[in-house]
Amino acid sequence: MKKLTLGLLIVLTMTHCTTKTESVSGSIINDEHIGTALERLTEKHPQADRDMAEKGLRHAASLWWAEDGSAEDFIAYCSENFLADAVAKEQSFAQLSKHFETIWGHFNKMSLHLQEPLHLKYGEVLPIDAQFAGFDAAAHLQDDLYANKIAFFVALNFPYYSLEEKQDLGGDWSRLEWAYARLGDVFTARVPAALQQDYARVSAQSEMYISHYNIRAGELRNNENRALFPEELSLLSHWNLRDELKANYPLGQEGLEKQRMIYEVMKRIIDQSIPEKIVNNPDYQWNPYNNEVWKDGERVELAAEPDTRYQHIINNFKALQAMDAYSPLDTYIRRNFEGSMEIAQPEVEALFMEFLSSEVLKQTGDFIAERLGRPLEAFDLWYDGFKARSTINEDLLSEQTRQRYPDAAAFEGDLPQVLMRLGYSRERADFLAGKISVEPARGSGHAWGAAMRGMQSYLRTRVPDKGMDYKGYNIAMHELGHNVEQTISLYNVDHYLLNGVPNTAFTEALAFIYQKRDLDVLGMPSSNPAEEAFRTIDLLWSTYEIMGVSLLDMRVWKWLYAHPEASAAELKAQTIALANEIWNDYFAPVYGIEDQPVLAIYSHMISYPLYLSAYAYGNIIEFQLEDHLKGKNFADETDRIYQLGRLTPNHWMREAVGADMDIQPMLKAAEAALKEVRD
C-alpha cells in the first residue's frame, strides 16, 4: 500500500475543489469589484488576455476574506501582481515550483521522521511518540501562504481549472500548460489549521490502532482445544489474516480447517465480539468459534472490544466533515473522488456495480468450486489458486526468502539485482535503487515517497526476527512498485508540479504489476503454458473482491453523512447490514450463500478513509497496462509511462496505452481465458 506523504497531503488538502470556484466561506469580493479590477488590470496591461485575466480574478476573489484586506486592497493587489508577459509568467512559475518543492519536501521529511516509532519495528511505542505522530507540522502552512499573499499570487496568475475544463481542454495543452494547471490546483479552498491538525491527530490514532492489531494465531484453539498454527505466528488484521488464508490453499483439508478458523476470527473482529484483551496478547488462548478464553489452563471471562473499530471511523469522519464548510466540494466523499481521484463518485459506484453484475463472475466461481472440489465459502474471496505460487508450499518459499533476505538491509542491497531481473539496465537499476531505502515495518508495510529531489523514498515491509518470510517479500515487491513509480515520476518528469500520477490507483497498478512478478525475480518463473490465462482470471477474481469492499466503503460514508450523529454501535450495526446487503446482491448469486459480513474486514476503512476504490481502479489500469506491455520492453515502457506525471486519469491512459479506462477488456479477456483453461 502506498503511504500518502505529507507533501501529497498538503496538495490534496488544497486541491479538493474541482467543479466550481464560488466562495463557501465568506469572500467579500462581488461581481462589481471583479469588474472594476478587470478594467484596472487591462488598462495597466493592455496586452493581457482578458479572458484569462478574468478567470484569475474570479478565482482569487473566491478566496479573499475580510482578514485579507478591503475590496479596494484586492483590486490594487491584482492590478499590481498580474503577470501579463508570458516570459515573466514562466519565470515566476519556475521559482514557485522550486520553492514549493523545498517547502513540501521538508515537511514531508519531518512527518516521515516524526512517525517512525509508529511505522518501524523497533522499541516500544511511547505515549509521546503517538502525540508527535499526530502532530502536523504543515498545519499552518496554508494560513501563512494566504496571510503573505503568495496564495493570491498563484490564484490570480495560475487560475484553477475544473475537472470538466481539464477533460475538455487538456488534450490540446502543452506540458507547460498542464504544469500551470496543476499549480492552479494548489489553492482552491481555505481550511483552518486547527482542522487540519485535528485530522492529523485522529488519523495517527487510527493508524496506530490498526498497526498494533495482531492476532496471535498460535494461541487460537478449535473446538477440540487444538492449536492449528505455529506458536510464534502473529497475524496483523486484516492484511496477514487475508494472506494466511491465501497461503493455505495448497494444504488441502488441513488448510481448509485453518481458513475456517481465520474466517471466524474475522467475523469476531467485524462484530466486535472479539475479547479486547486477546488482541496482540500471547497470554490467552482463544476459541473464535465459541468465543471462550483460557489462561494458564483456566477458563476466564473477558470483555469484548467496545466497538473501538467503529469509533475510529467516526473520529475520522467528524474530522473530515469539519472541513466541508471550507470547500466548494461540500463533502469528503466529493473531495476524495472528484478532487483527489478526479472521477465522480456516482461514476465510480456505477462502474463497480456494472462489473459486480457480470455473468463471467458466476462462471469463474463455478470454475473455482470445481478446482476446490467443494462449494465456495465466503473466505474464497481470496482464492489464490490461479497464481504460480499457489502450487508451491509457502514454507518452502519462505525458506528461500529468509535465506536471501535475513534483514531489511539485505533486501535493500539486492534492489539493483531485482530491478535488473525486471529488465532495467545496470545503470538505470542503480539509479532507481539508490533512491530507495528499505526498513522493517511495525505494521503490514507501505511505501513512503519523496516530495523533493534529493530525498529517499522508503520501502517498509514486515521482517520477522528469522528473516523476511514470503509474505513480507511479496508485500515488499508491491511496495517496490510504488517506490519505482515515486522515483520516476519525481526525478524524471519535466516539471515538478507534474510529479506523481493522476491518483493513487495509478501507483497501485504498477505495484500490482511488480508484485505479480515476485517469483520471476526469485528465479522461479512459471512453466505453465496457460499462465497468461490464469493471470487474467486471477485479476478478475481479485477485482471482484476489492470492488465489493470498495462499494461498502462508499456506502458506509454516504450513510454517515445521512446520520452524522451516529454512535459507534449504530455504525457497527449499519456497516454489517450494508456488508450483508452488498454480499446478497452481488456475491450470493456466485457463492450460493447469503448474509456474509466479510466485506467489512478491511483495515483501510479504519485508517485510510475511502482509499479502497484506488485498488479497484488500480486493477482496471493494471490489466490495460499489462495488455499494452505485451511484446514490449517492460523496463523501458514503464519508464516512459510513469514519466507522464500527474495528468487527469483519461489523459494519462490515452498517452500511456492509447485508450480510456474501461472494464470491458478485462471482462472479455477473462471470459476467453476461462474457455481456454476449461477446454
CB 459 within 8 A of CB 447: yes
Does 342 score more than 60 pLDDT? yes
What lies within 8 Å, CB to CB, of 308 at 6+ separation is: 209, 272, 276, 568
Does 67 score more than 80 pLDDT? yes
CA–CA dist 271, 259 (Å, integer): 19
Q: Output the DSSP codes for 202-214.
A: HHHHHHHHHHT-E
C-alpha cell at 499: 510529479
Beta strand pairing status for 457-461 and 2-3?
Answer: unpaired
Number of neighbouring beta carbons within 10 Å of residue 91: 12
What lies within 8 Å, CB to CB, of 16 at 6+ separation is: 188, 189, 327, 329, 334, 335, 339, 340
C-alpha cell at 234: 502473529
Number of neighbouring beta carbons within 10 Å of residue 322: 17
Render pLDDT for 441-474 as a digit per residue (tens, 0 to 9). 987 789 999 999 999 999 999 898 999 999 899 9
Residues paired with residue 460 on neighbouring β-strands, in sequence order: 439, 446
Does 13 score more than 60 pLDDT? no
**H or E element in which residue 134 lies:** none
Does 377 score more than 60 pLDDT? yes
Render pLDDT for 111-156 as a digit per residue (tens, 0 to 9). 999 999 988 887 888 889 988 888 888 878 988 999 999 999 999 9
Does 21 score more than 50 pLDDT? no
CB 278 within 8 A of CB 295: no
Percent of the chain with pLDDT over 70: 96
When the pLDDT of each residue in the chain is averaged and rounded to a whole number, the result is 92
Residues paired with residue 660 on neighbouring β-strands, in sequence order: none
**H or E element in which residue 286 lies:** strand 285-287
Does 15 score more than 80 pLDDT? no
CA-based radius of gyration for the chain: 26
Number of neighbouring beta carbons within 10 Å of residue 447: 26
**Alpha helix locations (H) across 185-286?**
193-211, 239-247, 252-271
CA–CA dist 335, 331 (Å, integer): 6
> If you search the block for the grid coordinates 516509532, which residue do you land on?
117
Render pLDDT for 291-308 as a digit per residue (tens, 0 to 9). 999 999 999 999 999 999
pLDDT value of position 391: 65
Residues paired with residue 2 on neighbouring β-strands, in sequence order: 447
What does the DSSP 8-state code read for residue 303? P
CA dihedral 121, 126, 194, 192 (to 10 degrees): -10
Closest of 121, 117, 120 to residue 133, by C-alpha: 117
pLDDT value of position 25: 55
Number of neighbouring beta carbons within 10 Å of residue 11: 21
**Alpha helix locations (H) across 328-377?**
332-334, 345-356, 359-372
CA–CA dist 512, 330 (Å, integer): 33
Per 3-state DSSP, the chain is made up of helix, strand and coil in percentages (nearest 5) of 65, 5, 30
CB 34 within 8 A of CB 63: no
CA–CA dist 101, 341 (Å, integer): 22
Q: Is the peptide bond before 478 cis (omega within 30 degrees of 0)?
A: no
pLDDT value of position 10: 37
Q: Is the peptide bond before 238 cis (omega within 30 degrees of 0)?
A: yes
Closest of 413, 661, 397, 437 to residue 543, by C-alpha: 661
Beta strand pairing status for 436-440 and 457-461?
Answer: parallel
Residues paired with residue 292 on neighbouring β-strands, in sequence order: 287
What does the DSSP 8-state code read for residue 275? B
CA–CA dist 390, 384 (Å, integer): 6
Does 11 score more than 70 pLDDT? no
What does the DSSP 8-state code read for residue 22? -
Q: Categorise residue 235: left if φ over 0, alpha if ψ from -120 to 50, beta otherwise.
A: beta
Please give the C-alpha separations between residue 595 and each of 56, 81, 99, 483, 582, in angstroms, as whole numbers: 53, 62, 54, 39, 9
Please give the C-alpha separations between residue 563 and each of 106, 270, 314, 577, in angstroms, as whole numbers: 39, 20, 11, 15
Q: Burial code of 191-206, b = ≥16 C-beta within 10 A, e = fewer?
A: bbeebbbbbbbbbbbb
- The dihedral through the CA atoms of 111, 112, 113, 117 has a sign that is positive
C-alpha cell at 272: 466486535
Number of neighbouring beta carbons within 10 Å of residue 359: 10
CB 155 within 8 A of CB 63: yes
CA–CA dist 393, 469 (Å, integer): 12
What are φ and ψ of residue 423, in 5° steps? 110, 0
CA–CA dist 69, 75 (Å, integer): 10
- Among 33-37, 187-191, 441-445, top mean pLDDT goes to 33-37
Beta strand pairing status for 457-461 and 292-295?
Answer: unpaired
What's the number of CA atoms in the CB half-sphere (13 Å) around residue 639? 16
Render pLDDT for 566-598 as a digit per residue (tens, 0 to 9). 999 999 999 999 999 999 999 999 999 999 999
**382 burial via Cβ count (<10 Å: 0-12, 13-18, 19+):** buried
Number of neighbouring beta carbons within 10 Å of residue 35: 13
Closest of 563, 572, 564, 568 to residue 597, by C-alpha: 572
Does 246 score more than 90 pLDDT? yes
Contacts of the segment 245-254: beta carbons below 8 A, 24+ positions apart: 245/379, 245/382, 246/382, 246/383, 246/384, 246/390, 247/384, 247/394, 247/470, 247/471, 249/383, 249/384, 249/385, 249/390, 250/390, 250/391, 250/392, 250/393, 250/394, 251/393
Render pLDDT for 491-543 as a digit per residue (tens, 0 to 9). 999 999 999 999 988 998 899 899 989 999 999 887 777 888 999 999 999 99
Render pLDDT for 384-398 as a digit per residue (tens, 0 to 9). 998 766 667 888 999
Length reported for the chain: 679
**H or E element in which residue 274 lies:** none
Does 162 score more than 60 pLDDT? yes
Q: Burial code of 383-408, b = ≥16 C-beta within 10 A, e = fewer?
A: bbbbbbbbeeebeebbeebbeebeeb
